[in-house]
Amino acid sequence: MAAATTTSPTAGRLPFSPHPNANPARLSSPASLKTPSKPVSLHLRHLTVPSAAGAAAPYPDSSSSSIPDLLSDKPRDECGVVGIIGDPDASYLCSVALHALQHRGQEGAGIVSTHRPSSDSPVSLRSVTGLGLVSQVFQDKSKFDYLSGSAAIGHVRYSTAGSASSLANVQPFLAGYRFGQLAVAHNGNLVNYSSLRASLEDSGSIFNTSSDTEVILHLIANSNSRPLISRIVDACEALQGAYSLVFLTKNKLFAARDPYGFRPLVLGRLRRPSRGIVFASETCALDLIEADYEREVNPGEVIFVDGHDLSISSLCLMPPKPRKACIFEHIYFALPNSIVFGRAVYSSRYSFGSTLAKESPVANADVVIPVPDSGFYAALGYASHSGVPFQQGLIRSHYVGRTFIQPEQNIRDLAVRLKLAPVKGILEGKSVVVVDDSIVRGTTSSKIVRLIKDAGAREVHMRIASPPIVGSCYYGVDTPRSEELISNKMDVEGVRNAIGCDSLAFLSLESLRNLLGKEAPSYCDACFSGNYPVPPMENEADRLLAEEEE
């Protein structure tokens, strides 16, 4: 192994590891992924808790039905990951950090932690996962007693691959294989998942879930390299697409990011006496558990932390590639109080809105309102630049959505009214500028326009703080197929007519890129431009099968 960057926890701030473009250290000659002569046994586990009688009984999960949000016409938040090592309250801190990342996934949550009953006992990994929100899955103290240990990884999930309602697909995944236990949590999506799974199954691997993340564990188990860091490198070299990963073993925490850097992953240090190390999808998670942000995990980098002394080592996974960070993190996904890809999210959204006001003003407008909550900062920017007063003309209820039973089709519009309440005193008789972050299918936008007009608005002018979405995302965002995207089927006037507003304008792609400045080429805007850094493979399994039959 080539020399790695290693630091002591007493050395102050964590150093910036060499960027992949600056002669980074990496494994000198990683072994290629080979299938062992004998199929490797890999057992995914949802670990058990001793029952009162002493027998092993499954830990009761706090399942809730996975019902789509009533305002579901948005790209779906991908997932959120957290890793903490070096603190006796690691699992509890992990759950708090997951609360901060709840916006990234609401279908399931889980934590895997280290556990050592006594000083002379071996360390093992324990897991608690469940369907629903973090507060539902981890609602009682006994789960943290079970997850006692100084290291933990956690995950909140919205499915981009794998059945949404299956507990088996809730991460982190905990596996036992020939070298011990390994847990993984993944944010992203693998575009070559189908071919990787087919190849592994051909060689004897048996899969327990329908999630693309399980492929990563099988690749690690089937690698002939040693030590574990080499096996992780081997696995990542076989992956195509987006992945921000945290791994946990009995004494180490690993974090890895794909060479394009599609999805965010940051590193920080707890202010607590432990000075433990934290990895998280967004800096808002660091803020909530009082950890200081140090830096991003670089694209193509793997960082591993030794649980004994909290020393940190950094390697480059694979040859450098141009960064392609997801621009939709700044448009919609990330919380406004986060720093993502080195930029403040609230500042980006504010500038998107102010530029939109410059490009597409509305003559004689009376009021600017946001579509809550993601349109808020763009609407502030629009109002500030245009001089039109900002008001909250739509009030969002946070108490309905996931657990509300969807009504029959003939009264489905009531769903939006349950979620958004118009303020008639602000809207009645007014020419209203409505600022939203994006339009996907257009179904919710049309209901919002109707809601505002029913409240007495004289005119409704929609202003969208991003370009038209014309292509699906394949890098960890669940967007509809391209043929379902309204802007892929219609021009702007067609969309305006379909949603029923008096005027409609989008932020231009050129303006978006200008706002990003010299960093623009380092962002992925494939959903707007159709320029995919990694070619999508929508029908990959069918293609491979057809090739075999030929």
Residue 547 CA, distance from chain mean position:
34
Three-state secondary structure readout of 47-82:
CEEECCCCCEEECCCCCCCCCCCCCCCCCECCEEEE
Which candidate, 241, 320, 335, places its Cα nearest to that of 281? 335
Q: How far apart are CA 506 and CA 327, in angstroms?
A: 16
Q: Is 94 one of the annotated binding-site residues?
A: no
Bridge-based pairing state of the strands 266-270 and 173-177: unpaired
Q: Is 501 one of the annotated binding-site residues?
A: no
Extract the tokens encoding 29: 């000659």
Q: Is 522 one of the annotated binding-site residues?
A: no
The number of beta carbons lying within 10 Å of the beta carbon of residue 421 is 14
Q: How far apart are CA 54 and CA 511, in angstroms?
A: 64
Examine the residue annotation and report whether 501 is marked as an active-site residue of this protein. no
Q: Is 326 one of the annotated binding-site residues?
A: yes
User: Which H or E run includes 305?
Assistant: strand 301-306
- Running DSSP on this structure, what letter comes out for residue 330? I
Catalytic residue of the set 79, 94, 316, 501: 79
- Residues 6 or more apart in contact with residue 89 via CB below 8 angstroms: none
Extract the tokens encoding 259: 């060479």
β-bridge mates for residue 173, sequence order? 184
Strands (E), 140-179: 151-157, 173-177
First-last CA distance in the chain: 43
Binding residues for [4Fe-4S] cluster: 326, 473, 524, 527
Binding residues for Mg(2+): 374, 436-437
Binding residues: 326, 374, 436-437, 473, 524, 527
Residue positions annotated with a catalytic role:
79
